[in-house]
């Protein structure tokens, strides 16, 4: 009898430890309360995170092969969701993850090669992938979104927050944010539109910068491009100091004075003037590229 019980327990343990079959869907559900801290780590595959009216964390993982495992652990208010694999990840298909969290959750997503989509989450967000696109919805608060090789899109709801958004090789597109924003791309364009931003820092090493529809009267805006154009349309309420310069390129101003040469014989051009009655600041600079300034 003891031998039989021992055999049954051994078989049960083996069944728990067995990896899932290729293409198998694995589901987990954990009660967490209203505002857990959720961290997701998945080397490859697509990752979708959705904030909903729930007090649970729901996980659906589509495992690509029998060597991959879904591992979930809890420690206090923290939930760790991780896709692990025995034998390394070379030449392997990824696992697709769909994670539903409470709306007030704070979420961290880390991936090596994955597209990441986050929507409906109102807590702090930190999202990063080495290779893949990032698409994030934000409701204010703090946001960090980055891809080493891929595009990054951030859409807000005009709620006060602070965001750091960037790509090493890819475009960055940010819209409807309020508060403070830092946006950058080494090789790609940066586009910022339709926001109520108090402070903007935009940089592009090899790419263009587009800024339009910012409604703040006293906005503090800086944009720097090494090899690329800068095109900005100021909101009609903007007022403050404007300083623009380019080493190799034109400056086109739809309002205010004309640009001046920095030297009688050199290629550089500069434009400085005050506009309106606000205390805002606009500073634009490019090394190789043109600059166009207009107002709504």
Among 73, 102, 131, identify where a domain stops: 102
Digit-coded pLDDT (tens) for 165-206: 999 999 999 999 999 999 999 999 999 999 999 999 999 999
**Total domain count, the chain:** 2
**Cα distances (angstroms) measured from residue 229 to each of 45, 194, 213, 285:** 35, 20, 18, 9
For residue 114, is it within any domain? no
Among 102, 117, 148, identify where a domain stops: 102
For residue 229, is it within any domain? yes
> In this structure, are 187 and 291 located in the same domain?
yes
The lowest-confidence range among 20-24, 106-110, 273-277, 291-295 is: 20-24
What percentage of residues in the chain have a pLDDT greater than 70?
89
The CA R_g of the chain, rounded to the nearest whole Å, is 25
Digit-coded pLDDT (tens) for 197-246: 999 999 999 999 999 988 888 999 999 999 999 999 999 899 999 999 99
For residue 164, is it within any domain? no
For residue 36, is it within any domain? yes
For residue 261, is it within any domain? yes
For residue 189, is it within any domain? yes
pTM exceeding 0.85:
yes
Among 59, 76, 102, identify where a domain stops: 102
For residue 251, is it within any domain? yes
Digit-coded pLDDT (tens) for 62-111: 988 778 889 999 999 999 999 986 555 445 567 899 999 999 999 999 99
The lowest-confidence range among 127-141, 154-168, 196-210, 265-279 is: 265-279
> In this structure, are 187 and 296 located in the same domain?
yes
| Parent domain of 42 | 27-102
For residue 13, is it within any domain? no
- Count the neighbouring beta carbons within 10 Å of the beta carbon of residue 214: 25
């Amino acid at each position: 009898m003891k031998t039989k019980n021992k055999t049954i327990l051994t078989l049960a343990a083996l069944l728990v430890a067995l990896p899932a079959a290729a293409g198998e869907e694995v589901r987990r559900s954990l009660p967490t309360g209203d505002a857990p801290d959720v961290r997701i780590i998945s080397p490859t595959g697509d990752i979708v995170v959705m904030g909903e009216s729930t007090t649970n964390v729901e996980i659906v993982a589509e495992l690509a092969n029998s060597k991959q495992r879904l591992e979930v652990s809890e420690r206090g208010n923290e939930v760790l969701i991780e896709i692990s694999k025995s034998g390394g990840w070379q030449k392997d298909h990824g696992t697709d993850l769909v994670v539903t969290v409470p709306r007030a959750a704070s979420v961290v997503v880390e991936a090596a090669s994955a597209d990441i989509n986050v929507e409906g989450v109102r807590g702090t967000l930190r999202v990063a992938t080495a290779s893949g696109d990032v698409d994030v919805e934000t409701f204010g608060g703090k946001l960090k979104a980055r891809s080493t090789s891929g595009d990054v899109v951030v859409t807000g709801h005009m709620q006060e927050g602070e965001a750091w958004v960037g790509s090493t090789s890819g475009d960055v597109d940010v819209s409807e944010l309020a508060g403070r924003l830092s946006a950058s791309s080494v090789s790609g364009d940066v586009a910022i539109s339709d926001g109520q931003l108090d402070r903007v820092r935009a940089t592009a090493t090899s790419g263009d910068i587009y800024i339009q529809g910012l409604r703040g009267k006293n906005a503090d805006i800086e944009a720097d491009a090494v090899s690329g154009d800068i095109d900005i349309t100021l909101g009609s309420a903007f007022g403050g100091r404007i300083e623009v310069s380019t080493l190799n390129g034109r400056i086109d101003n739809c309002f205010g004075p004309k640009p001046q040469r920095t030297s009688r014989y050199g290629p550089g051009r500069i434009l400085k003037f005050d506009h309106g009655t606000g205390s805002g600041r606009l500073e634009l600079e490019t090394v190789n590229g043109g600059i166009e300034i207009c107002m709504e």
